[in-house]
Amino acid sequence: MPATPPIRVLVWSEFRHEKINPKVSAIYPDGIHEAIAAFLREDSGLMVETAFLDQARHGLESARLDATDVLIWWGHMAHGEVSDDVVAEVKRRVLEGMGLIVLHSAHYSKIFKALMGTTCSLQWRESTDKERVWNIAPHHPITRGIGHCFEIPQEEMYGEPFAIPTPDELIFISWYTGGEVFRSGATWQRGHGRVFYFKPGHETYPTYHQPEVQRVITNAVHWARATVCIPDRCENIAPLEPLPPDPEADGRSTHAYV
Ligand code: ZN
């Protein structure tokens, strides 16, 4: 039996907070994208690369996206600086079959809003909340190895209402010390691609160093991997069987899709 090819993963982040906030660079000296890539590289089934906002075309050239099975997206302070052209290409790739994992404040990224079709707004608070993440889909591949719940000692609070379309699958619900709850893990099918949103990951906390969070993201990469690449087509096609003659037809189509 031929060996399964590795999953080609591209981890993208803004890489801005780390350059201006010493608190963030102390936790993620090489950037959030490199911290995520580091634990993913421990999985021999993954081939992991990174990219960030200030690279040419944000490090997301067409050929690179075409060679990506799963894209991971972390953004926060510079959503507006992401080029609309790049967003359109990422969206095209998701619709063709590429997996997309959207982390933390990337709920407000252009690409997530484009794929959801809603505002994706929420309530938030940066304080001293603990986050308890409840696993409400213990059958799901994304929660493999995760028990009933796990706690993140300190995290930013994200609360409902979260303006997303009803998820295909709800994976996690979080509770915070302040009393709020939030749909913190959810999936959607978009075209031929799978999308997973996972809330934890505020930049001033060491959330991406926590084993449970790493486990969820690694599981999600395997779940979201592209299995097809089906470019969009909208063709005028000939019938498979001979059709009876149409006495009204003049031989010309009145429709043209471009
Ligand atoms: Zn945050």
Determine the Cα–Cα distance for residues 109 and 77; give it in Å rounded to an integer.
10
Q: Which residues contact 233 (CB under 8 A, 6 or more apart)?
A: none
Say how many residues make up the chain. Answer: 258
Residue 247 lies in a domain: no
- CA 119 to ligand 1 center in whole angstroms: 17
Structure tokens at 208: 């991406």
Structure tokens at 51: 């990219």
Q: Give residue-wise pLDDT tens across range 137-194.
A: 999 999 999 999 999 999 999 999 999 999 999 999 999 999 999 999 999 999 999 9
- CA 76 to ligand 1 center in whole angstroms: 7
Q: Give residue-wise pLDDT tens across range 59-116.
A: 999 999 999 999 999 999 999 999 999 999 999 999 999 999 999 999 999 999 999 9
- CA 254 to ligand 1 center in whole angstroms: 52
Number of domains in the chain: 1
Ligand 1 ion local residues (Cβ < 5 A): 105, 156, 202
Determine the Cα–Cα distance for residues 132 and 229; give it in Å rounded to an integer.
37
Determine the Cα–Cα distance for residues 149 and 239; give it in Å rounded to an integer.
54
Residue 199 lies in a domain: yes
Strand (E) or helix (H) holding 37: helix 32-40
- CA 184 to ligand 1 center in whole angstroms: 13
- CA 96 to ligand 1 center in whole angstroms: 30
CATH number for position 113? 3.40.50.880
Residue 248 lies in a domain: no
What pLDDT band is residue 246 in, cutting at 50, 70 and 90?
confident
Write the CA distances from 131 to 12, 98, 176, integer angstroms.
25, 30, 5
Q: Give residue-wise pLDDT tens across range 198-241.
A: 999 999 999 999 999 999 999 999 999 999 999 999 999 999 99
- CA 162 to ligand 1 center in whole angstroms: 15
- CA 155 to ligand 1 center in whole angstroms: 8
Q: Give residue-wise pLDDT tens across range 21-57.
A: 999 999 999 999 999 999 999 999 999 999 999 999 9
What is the model's pLDDT at position 9? 98
User: Domain span at residue 114?
Assistant: 7-224
Where does 75-210 have alpha helices with state H?
Answer: 84-96, 110-116
What pLDDT band is residue 10 in, cutting at 50, 70 and 90?
very high
Residue 243 lies in a domain: no
- CA 105 to ligand 1 center in whole angstroms: 6
What pLDDT band is residue 251 in, cutting at 50, 70 and 90?
low
- CA 65 to ligand 1 center in whole angstroms: 26
| Chain CA centroid to CA 207, Å | 17
Determine the Cα–Cα distance for residues 221 and 71; give it in Å rounded to an integer.
9
Determine the Cα–Cα distance for residues 33 and 58; give it in Å rounded to an integer.
13
Residue 229 lies in a domain: no
- CA 240 to ligand 1 center in whole angstroms: 54
Residue 246 lies in a domain: no
